[in-house]
Amino acid sequence: MESRVCMNGLCANSSNSVEWKKGWPLRSGGFATLCDDCGTAYEQLIFCETFHSEETGWRECTSCKKRLHCGCIASSSLLELLDTGGVHCRGCSKSSKLPSTPLEEKHKACGLSTDNGIDQNFDKMAPAQSDDNAQKDGQEHVPPSQNDDTTPRKLEEDFAGSGEIGFKLFSSFNQSSVVPPKDQDTLRDSKSDGSEHKSLVQTNLSISLSASSNLNTLPGAIAEERQLSASISSFQQGCRPRHVLPRLPNSILPAGLETNSSTITQLRVARPPVEGRVKNQLLPRYWPRITDQELQQISGDSNSTIIPLFEKVLSASDAGRIGRLVLPKACAEAYFPPISQPEGLPLRIQDVKGKEWIFQFRFWPNNNSRMYVLEGVTPCIQSMQLQAGDTVTFSRMDPEGKLLMGFRKASSTLSVQKDSHYSMNSGAFQGEQLLGNAENLPMMSGYSGLLQSLKETRASSMTLLSKHVYPGNISPHIIEKNVSQSMGLPERKRRNIGPKSKRLLIDGQDSLELRLSWEEVQEMLRPPPRVEPSTIMVEDHEFEEFEEPPVFGKRSIFIVRLSGEQEQWTQCDSCFKWRKVPIDFLLPHKWTCQDNVTDQMRSSCSAPDELSSRELEILLRMNKDFTKRRVQTSLKQESQDLETLTNAAPVGVETNEPGSSSVGPTTKHPRHRPGCSCIVCIQPPSGKGKHKPTCVCNVCMTVKRRFKTLMMRKKKRQSEREAEIAQKNHQFASAAKEEAEVDSIPLRLESEILLHGQSQENAEILKGELDLNCCPGRENHAAPPRVSMMSLLQEASLPLETYLRQNGLTSLVSEQQVASPLGLSAGIQEHEEGSNEFSEKDQRENDPS
DNA sequence: CCCCTGCATGGATTA
DNA sequence: AATCCATGCAGGGGG
């Protein structure tokens, strides 16, 4: 029994001398052990040699001939750790023995150090040895049990590809571009040397491919380990190619991007996990998408190796107050220390600002499986100002083994072409600054934040031993492209925004913009070119069916002049002048003046603008304003729907009237829809049906109180909204007056400026939306007016004058027109006024009091 | 009553 | 069909 100082750094009494109950000398010189003081299991460097044959990266059990692969997480398992230490091969029922190897012998001894070597070390602290060694020793040895934990931790095999991946990594990178000659020499030397060198190279392979071997290895490790680390680091440098991510075939690149690296800046690339063993198991959605440039920047001049591990888009519950971040199982098992008890263990992770956090890494039993979570993340999430929809990224810095946590704001993912601006006090922003905005994509990347924090750390005291180099060229597998540049939606984006995102309860403006961006994207979809649709009939409606996915069209602005003439305006991608195009013209995603075949006068970029700058300014401002209103309206509508339903349930109000959202969430589960038959939704709501109206039980009282509170809130909001509307009226009147003084074009929006919509149908639908949404009095209706969608559409498609006249608002039209010959602002205002009036009128009709 | 913890559920996704 | 995982919720503890 050896006495050493606890070095896990997680122990409050880390300076105490603790007994290494199950000290397991590792090949690296480190030990896996359990701190007697804090009970924390931890390991130091663990490297695998045993199961890496030089050629294939795996070995066969000499007894059962089954492949034993280190560190793989596969479905089948043949190896299990014994509580007593050692390893048991299910295939041959042999057990390994405890190595009693002195440190000098460690290079020859073989702990069952695996890629996932901490598996044993963290959990079991069990000395282990391969079957191979057991075989050599000619004995089976099952050490006496010292561990109460009787749950065998499984190691899996059947992942022969892992090792192969390692070699593929080696062979597929562009050596000349990333490996200095010296390193290549080193590599050659190491390869050409004797077996010891080979084994070390092999070891190094396992290091670089290792996902978790170095986790939380803290500075202050014992001297032996440091020495070994250093020596290994030198090998890491020699084997730098092994760190290099595979360069994917150019065919994956979108057309036009293959070679033009000078014009494209860095694209955010989903990187398959460096660690081969998880590559085939980690879902692409978790692949880290750190850019080469970010990595290089993070690495900087140091010798530090940054290994992107995985990333995850935060769900509502991840970003919520509970403070639990659900970890993808595969990622947790691959990259975080193995845990055998649900309580897990504390994990140190450094955030983008350089601050170290300690999260509880644990799991819950779930459906015969496990659900891994990081607990206590709320402060960290808050400090990074993350919300649902944002992405957290996990990396590891080797050889320190330090876990790094970065982030990427959702807005940087989707609103890539927007004029986004970001919080100046954001660490990510600062990081972005440091990156020199090389991506040309507005980006809020925690990797960028990492850059800064790492630089700071570096400046302090960190010793960085090796440098991570990625190929200079882009190696996209899944490319997150600028939406407007893409002719097809990247698979990953589809996946994230699609069904998965239904669960995202996204709050906040950024996330809302994200959602609306998606809606906008939907509106920009065009039929695939050169593909003839087949027509199918579904319930007497004709649908065009395309065999190819839709493509993106260019954004345009629709306007309607006072004369009733509709116009479509779009911007040249080359000269950025605005051109008028036929109303029914389907714009390709890239459009220039040369494509303006319908207007020969302006089919060249040299042709002057048709609109004056002032007119353009007004047009765009109104356009922007309308977008903003639409966002807000949509948000209000959603919250109103939800609230209406929430309120209606306890008091038994039927909310499913025509005109109200037919797909609104239920009162039970906001994410469930009416008609949902889940066990929760089919239960009667508390207080409804079960209790009498006079019941004063806790449930009923709570419901009543909540109802009362909500009604009070509604009243308050209503009055605030009225005040706001009055203020807006004033502002718009002023603006209209001002614009009337300047030269103007006789444009008028019939009801609104239409964004993205390509057809009159869209216009009508949007009108319908506005009618539905801009109804401030609506929520006060005990029974909202019965309005069908068809009638709304009909209403919306009426000329504004007719519409207003029907609602007794003729004077408004004339006033606004007089005030604003331009008619743009008036158009929007008119509609909103109309909506308000409409609502108020309805309110009067429906609520005489 | 609020908050935390641990588990259960079921939609989404993958095999 | 199996698995993952986002989220709901019951139960317990503390203020």
Residue A307 lies in a domain: yes
Residue numbers in A 614-673, CB below 7 Å of strand B: 672
Q: Supply the pLDDT for residue A651.
A: 34
Q: CA of A326 vs C1' of C6, distance in Å?
A: 8
Q: How far is the CA of A282 from the C1' of B6 (A)?
A: 27
Query: Could you tell me which residues come within 8 angstroms of residue A664 by beta carbon, excluding any fewer than 6 positions away?
Result: A641, A642, A644, A645, A655, A673, A674
Give the position of tokens 């009226």: A729
- Structural domain contains residue A491: no
CA–C1' distance A702–C15 (Å)? Answer: 20
Q: What is the pLDDT, as a whole number, of residue A268?
A: 55
CA of A504 to C1' of B12 (A): 13
Residue nearest to nucleotide C2 (CA to C1'): A367
Q: Which residues contact A178 (CB under 8 A, 6 or more apart)?
A: A240, A241, A244, A469, A470, A471, A472
Residues A454, A397: Cα–Cα separation, whole Å: 10
CA angle A402, A405, A406 (to 5 degrees): 135
Find the nucleotide nearest A702 (Cα to C1′).
B1
All protein residues with a CB under 7 A from any atom of strand C = A 283, 286, 312, 315-318, 322, 324, 326, 328-330, 366-369, 371, 388, 500, 503-505, 668-671, 680
Q: Is residue A772 part of a domain?
A: no
Q: Write the DSSP symbol of residue A123.
A: I
CA to C1' distance (Å), from A703 to B9: 25
Mean pLDDT over A155-166 rounds to: 31
**Residues A301-325: tens digit of each pLDDT:** 566 778 888 888 888 888 888 889 9
Q: What is the number of other CB atoms lying within 10 angstroms of the CB of residue A345?
A: 24
Averaged pLDDT for residues A423-437: 30
Residue A676, sorted as left (phi over 0), alpha (psi -120 to 50) or beta, turns out to be beta
| pLDDT on residue A633 | 53
Q: Is residue A26 part of a domain?
A: yes
- pLDDT value of position A299: 57
Q: Is the CB of A158 under 7 A from strand B?
A: no
pLDDT digits (tens, 9 = 90+) for A460-501: 332 222 223 222 222 222 223 333 333 333 333 333 333 333
Nearest CA among A460, A444, A447, A452 for reference residue A353? A452
Q: What is the pLDDT of residue A338?
A: 84
* DSSP designation for A405: E
Give A318 CA → C6 C1' in Å: 9
Between A201 and A80, where is the model more confident?
A80
Helices A446-460 and A292-299 meet at what angle, rounded to 10? Answer: 10
Residue A596: pLDDT band with limits 50, 70, 90: confident
HSE (side-chain half, CA atoms, 13 Å) at A642: 12
Q: How confident is the model at residue A281 (pLDDT cuts 50, 70, 90)?
A: low
Query: Residue A285 pLDDT more than 50?
Result: yes
pLDDT at A715: 73
- Dihedral sign, Cα of residue A216, residue A219, residue A222, residue A223: positive
Q: If pLDDT is split at 50, 70 and 90, which confidence band does A351 have?
A: confident
Whole-angstrom Cα distance, residue A79 to residue A112? 10
What's A386's domain CATH number?
A: 2.40.330.10
Weakest-pLDDT range from A165-179, A543-557, A748-762: A165-179
Taking the CA of residue A286 and the C1' sugar atom of nucleotide B12, their distance in angstroms comes to 16
**Any atom of strand B under 7 A from CB of A789?**
no
Lowest mean pLDDT among A352-361, A512-521, A835-844: A835-844
Task: Determine the distance between A299 (CA) and B5 (C1') in angstroms.
Answer: 40
Q: Please, which positions of strand C sit below 7 A from a protein CB?
A: 3-9
A716 touches strand B (CB under 7 A): no
What torsion do the CA atoms of A158, A163, A169, A171 make, to the nearest 10 degrees? -120
pLDDT score, position A195: 34
Proximity of residue A364 CB to strand B below 7 A: yes
Residue A766 has pLDDT above 50, yes or no: no
Q: Which nucleotide is nearest to A314 (CA to C1')?
A: C6
Q: Specify the pLDDT at position A184.
A: 34
Mean pLDDT score, A529-540: 64
Select the more confidently predicted residue: A785 or A200: A785
Considering only CA atoms, which residue is closest to the C1' of nucleotide B13?
Answer: A500
| pLDDT value at residue A512 | 42
Which nucleotide has its C1' atom closest to residue A679's CA?
A: B9
Compute the distance between CA of residue A139 and CA of residue A97 in angstroms, rounded to an integer: 8
Closest nt by CA–C1' to A705 = B1
A494 touches strand B (CB under 7 A): no
For residues A758 and A168, the model is more confident at: A758
How many angstroms is C1' of C2 away from CA of A639?
Answer: 37
Query: Is residue A367's beta carbon less than 7 angstroms from any atom in nucleic acid strand B?
Result: yes
For residues A110-127, give the mean pLDDT: 32
**What are A691-699's contacts with CB under 8 Å, separation 24+?**
none
A671 CA: nearest nucleotide by C1' = C7
Query: What is the CA A683 to C1' C15 distance in angstroms?
Result: 32
Amino acid (one-letter) located at A384: M
Number of structural domains in chain A: 3
Residue A692 lies in a domain: no
pLDDT band at A560 (very low <50, low <70, confident <90, very high): confident
Coil/strand/helix, residue A632? helix
pLDDT of residue A62: 39
The answer to whether the beta carbon of residue A543 comes closer than 7 angstroms to any atom of strand B is no
A633-to-A511, A627, A628, A725, A752 alpha-carbon distances in Å: 15, 10, 8, 13, 14
| For residues A540-556, average pLDDT | 64
Distance A502 CA to B2 C1' (A): 29
Show the domain range for A67: 21-96
Encode pLDDT of A52-88 as tens digits: 332 333 333 334 444 433 332 222 234 444 444 444 4
Quick: pLDDT tens for A368-387: 888 999 998 888 888 888 88
Least Cα distance to A471 among A647, A249, A246 occurs for A246
* Residue where a domain stops, chosen among A96, A119, A137: A96
Mean pLDDT (chain A) is 49
**Residue A831 domain-assigned?**
no
Q: What is the pLDDT of residue A135?
A: 32
pLDDT in the model for residue A572 = 84
Nearest nucleotide by C1' position to the A678 CA atom: B10
Q: Is the pLDDT assigned to residue A346 strictly greater than 80? A: yes
pLDDT, position A582? 84
Core vs surface per residue A369-402: b (16+ CB within 10 A) or e: ebbbbbbbbeebbeebbbbbbbbbbbbbbbbbbb
pLDDT band at A725 (very low <50, low <70, confident <90, very high): confident
pLDDT band at A700; cut points 50, 70, 90: low
pLDDT at A558 over 70: yes
Residue nearest to nucleotide B3 (CA to C1'): A322
pLDDT for A597 equals: 83
* List of A residues 288-347 with CB within 7 A of strand B: 321-323, 342-343
Q: Which nucleotides of B are covered by protein (CB under 7 A)?
A: 1, 4-15
- DSSP bridge partners of A394: A310, A405
Please report the pLDDT score of residue A181 as a whole number: 30
- Residue A727, Cβ neighbours under 10 Å: how many? 10
Query: Which of residues A80, A96, A112 is at a domain's end?
Result: A96
Rounded to whole angstroms, the Cα distance separating A291 from A276 reads: 19
Residue A432 CA, chain-centre distance (Å), reads: 18
More confident residue, A622 or A151: A622
| Distance B14 C1' – A571 CA (angstroms) | 43
- Number of other residues whose CB lies within 10 A of the CB of residue A150: 10
In a domain, A392, yes or no: yes
A500 touches strand B (CB under 7 A): yes
Mean of pLDDT values over A705-714: 66
Higher pLDDT: A445 or A439? It is A445
Mean per-residue pLDDT, A130-147: 32
Higher pLDDT among residues A744 and A599, named by residue: A599
Of A203 and A569, more confident: A569
Nucleotide nearest to A318 (CA to C1'): C6
Calculate mean pLDDT across residues A203-216. Answer: 31
Which of A264-268, A412-416, A485-489, A563-567 has the lowest average pLDDT? A485-489
Q: Which of A715, A748, A713, A764 is nearest to A829 (CA)?
A: A748
A678 touches strand B (CB under 7 A): yes
Residue range A241-251: average pLDDT?
A: 28
Q: Mean pLDDT highest for which of A5-14, A49-58, A220-229, A785-794?
A: A785-794
Condensed to tens digits (0 to 9), the pLDDT of residues A36-46 reads 444 444 433 22
Of residues A420 and A723, more confidence is placed in: A723
Which nucleotide lies nearest residue A333, CA to C1'? C4
- Within a domain: A46: yes
- Domain end point (choices A594, A619, A635): A635
Quick one: pLDDT at residue A411?
Answer: 60
pLDDT at residue A601, rounded to an integer: 84
Task: Considering all nucleic acid strands, name the nucleotide whose C1' atom is nearest to the C-alpha of residue A506.
Answer: C6
Average pLDDT over residues A190-213: 31
pLDDT at A618 over 70: yes
Alpha helices, H only, A664-799: 679-682, 698-741, 760-773, 789-797
Residue A669 CA distance to nucleotide C9 C1' (Å): 11
Please give the protein residue whose CA is closest to the C1' of the nucleotide C8. Answer: A669
Mean pLDDT lowest among A6-15, A313-322, A463-472, A767-776: A463-472
Residue range A138-153: mean pLDDT, rounded: 32
Note the pLDDT of residue A759: 36
The top-scoring range by mean pLDDT among A285-299, A633-647, A808-822 is: A285-299
Q: Is residue A365's beta carbon less than 7 angstroms from any atom in nucleic acid strand B? A: yes
